[in-house]
Structure 1
Amino acid sequence: MTVLSTEQTRIRITHRTRRWHDREVTVADAMDFWSFAAGAANVVMQLSWPEVGHGVAESTVVSGSLMHHPWKRARTTFSYLAVAIMGTDADRLAYRTAVDGAHRQVRSTPQSPVRYSAFDRDLQMWVAACLYVGLEDTYQLLRGELTPAQAEMFYQSGATLGTTLQVQQDQWPATRAEFDDYWNAACERVAMDETVRGYLDDLLGLRMVTGALRPGSVPLLRFLTTGFLAPVFREALGVTWTDRRQRQFERLFLVVAFANRFLPRFIRQGGSYLLLTDIRRRVQRGKRLI
């Protein structure tokens, strides 16, 4: 089997902002609110493994459904990132327990075209890897290219994206270079059928929100989503991307990155800290976390 190359599995950026600094960095530094512009693209990436795609598309857990409760689902996802990246071990344990309760209901049925379980560690590793790649991509768009030493430290700090759930520490590739090998090989499994494409088309068409928000939002969402997808995912989703659109995408984030430099941290990352505070308050009061 021929393993895909990084040119096929990662986004290509020709022009990016200059590097902020040469100090040590972690994935927590990637939690600027602009990073969530890549959120829908990350959903596409995660669902491009058939088992994950059908697990989400076929899920009967309405309370956590993106199509039925989009704002709640967004809060749950962003809260998970805040807990996994910025939280304590106690925060992670509490959130893991809550997520496990929902995941117990996500299993394939005899009618499912693929077998899956939300407790499958390999599937969770794939999802965590997608989250990591999204954070690394957005960090480098907003704050400049990582040096090799920074890239290694950034990567090592990202293991909690998976280990907060069922991924074992030894599943997380030991080095950044080994992660590239894992990622390129894992992308060989990217494939979407009409069920998953239809689900994602509904997502990118914002069919779960009021029609009044769609006219201006849908074109922007599709542009950002396609821009944040590597070629292998664009091909699976059936979308095209031109050099002209790539230039527009890079210019947009040069402007965004410039503005981001002048924002204090409490504005850039304040939303994540508010979500983390909300989780801790819910734990103290015995309320549902998801």
Structure 2
Amino acid sequence: MTEVLEPAQPVTDHTRGAGVDDLPGLGPDSATYRFFGDWRGLLMGLWSGSMQNMHPKLAAGVWEHSDFFGERWERLLRSVYPIGGVVFDPDPETTAHQVRDYHLTIKGQMDDGGRYHALDPDVFYWAHATFWYGNIRCAEAFGPKITEADKRRLFEESRTWYARYGVSMRPVPDTYEDFLEYWDHMCTRVLRDHAAVRTVLDITQLPPPPFLPSWTPRWLWKRMAVSGNKTFMWLTTGLYDEPIREMMGLTWSARDEKLFRLFGKTVDTLMKLVPPRYRRHPRARDADDRVAGRVPMDAPVLETPKRNLPSGAERDNPIHYCPVHAQRRGNLPWQSNEVDD
């Protein structure tokens, strides 16, 4: 692969002649707005991270450039803010370009001598595919109920979502059926096991997350991590396509499938007991507040709490999302005093 990137502007589908104006919107009435930003997405964490890192070029970039493995909790918790902002922010294109530009300097040479760049359209689209298609996988497994029409609408809207980044639309499939063929091709022909994948799947060596009380004993966290790792690894195995399970050497029985479905129904039932507002991630909730008039439309977007920011010199590294005005929700006069992750 060469290091010459395809032009970022204008955002046009050169192979199909469709500009951004021809794509569906992502407003409050969209399927993406409805399914994305639900806290159930946290159950997809290991699936999303591992599926992304199975792309050989993406794995190489993460392994060589990212401090993901040194501050994994913080990076995960802060990254969901700008990623969600590409859907929910009042000026989503600006947020999307910021996310895109975090990847400008992530490039290098792979072990086989090939070159990689994070903004290679095929690599960047794969990462996007795990986010938008993750909505379908999450809903199928954990709710809320999703129809075939919803899935097709999510696909169409995913094109709008991706176009906001200002990256070539060349890899984007034409139809939902084409996307399913693309996904199957990636799972059976392209994706590979990698040390970055295995590291993502192992949370037993992680320090306590920043949202745990500082007085939590280390031994207690260790026990929680071991137990949690077994549970999340089982859930992730259930979410994987069968070719991925085979590649990773994972087994999945009929009993596992039955228990997995029961677990998913239980999650969906419990989530229905939670007020709709609190089923949502803070950035999605912030968008809901703007639509409802609880927050002015021109108010600054809600940023990640300071506890999730990179430490030391890493705060100035352009590959990190690190807003200098990061603050808790309660610091703004028109916002309620809530604790956000």
Give the distance between the partners of 1:214 and 1:143, measured in 2 at CA.
Answer: 28
Match of 2:268 among 248, 254, 257: 257
The change in CA–CA distance for 1:115 and 1:166 in structure 2 (over 3 A counts) is farther
CA contact (8 A) 1:40 1:204 kept: yes
Match of 2:9 in 1: none
Alignment gaps of 5+ in structure 2: 1-28, 209-220, 288-300, 307-321, 327-341
Give the distance between the partners of 2:160 and 2:61, measured in 1 at CA.
Answer: 23
User: 2:58 aligned with 1:52, yes or no?
Assistant: yes
Over residues 98-154 of structure 1, what are the superposed CA-to-partner deviations in whole Å (9 max), with x where a residue is unaligned? 541x3123112375654210111111111111212211111233022413x332222
SS of residue paired to 2:302: helix
CA contact (8 A) 1:140 1:146 kept: no
Over residues 198-219 of structure 1, what are the superposed CA-to-partner deviations in whole Å (9 max), with x where a residue is unaligned? 3332322212324624222211
Match of 1:162 in 2: 162
SS of residue paired to 1:116: strand
Match of 1:181 in 2: 181
**AA aligned opposite 1:119:** L
Match of 2:199 among 188, 202, 218: 202
Give the distance between the partners of 2:258 and 2:125, measured in 1 at CA.
Answer: 32
Q: CA offset at residue 225 of structure 1? A: 1.5
Match of 1:139 in 2: 139
Match of 1:66 in 2: 68
Q: CA offset at residue 51 of structure 1? A: 0.9
TM-score if structure 2 supplies the norm length? 0.66
SS of residue paired to 1:241: coil
Give the distance between the partners of 1:52 and 1:110, measured in 2 at CA.
Answer: 10
Greater helix content: 1
Give the distance between the partners of 1:286 and 1:39, measured in 2 at CA.
Answer: 23
CA contact (8 A) 2:107 2:118 kept: yes
Alignment gaps of 5+ in structure 1: 1-23
Match of 1:228 among 239, 247, 264: 239
Give the distance between the partners of 1:214 and 1:91, measured in 2 at CA.
Answer: 36
Give the distance between the partners of 1:27 and 1:268, measured in 2 at CA.
Answer: 15
Q: Percent identity of the aligned residues?
A: 19
Give the distance between the partners of 2:76 and 2:261, measured in 1 at CA.
Answer: 26
Greater relative CO, 1 or 2 (CA 8 Å, sep 6+): 1
Q: CA offset at residue 71 of structure 1? A: 2.2
Match of 1:248 in 2: 259
Give the distance between the partners of 1:182 and 1:111, measured in 2 at CA.
Answer: 26
Q: CA offset at residue 81 of structure 1? A: 3.1
CA contact (8 A) 2:54 2:197 kept: no
Q: How many residues align?
A: 254
CA contact (8 A) 2:48 2:131 kept: yes
Larger Rg: 2
What are the residue-to-residue correspondences of 1:83-162 with 2, within 5 Å?
83-88=85-90, 90-97=91-98, 99-100=100-101, 102-109=102-109, 113-141=113-141, 142-147=143-148, 149-162=149-162
Give the distance between the partners of 1:77 and 1:202, measured in 2 at CA.
Answer: 18
Q: CA offset at residue 242 of structure 1? A: 1.8
Give the distance between the partners of 1:39 and 1:220, measured in 2 at CA.
Answer: 12
Match of 1:26 in 2: 31
Give the distance between the partners of 1:199 and 1:112, measured in 2 at CA.
Answer: 17
SS of residue paired to 1:167: coil
**AA aligned opposite 1:154:** L
**AA aligned opposite 1:208:** L
Q: CA offset at residue 170 of structure 1? A: 5.7
Over residues 25-70 of structure 1, what are the superposed CA-to-partner deviations in whole Å (9 max), with x where a residue is unaligned? 51222221012201211111111121111121222x4xxx221111
Q: Provide the aligned C-alpha RMSD in A.
A: 2.9
The change in CA–CA distance for 1:146 and 1:268 in structure 2 (over 3 A counts) is same
Q: CA offset at residue 191 of structure 1? A: 3.5
Match of 1:278 among 268, 283, 302: 302
Match of 2:45 in 1: 39
The change in CA–CA distance for 1:139 and 1:167 in structure 2 (over 3 A counts) is farther
User: 2:291 aligned with 1:287, yes or no?
Assistant: no
The change in CA–CA distance for 1:25 and 1:252 in structure 2 (over 3 A counts) is farther
**AA aligned opposite 1:39:** G
**AA aligned opposite 1:157:** E
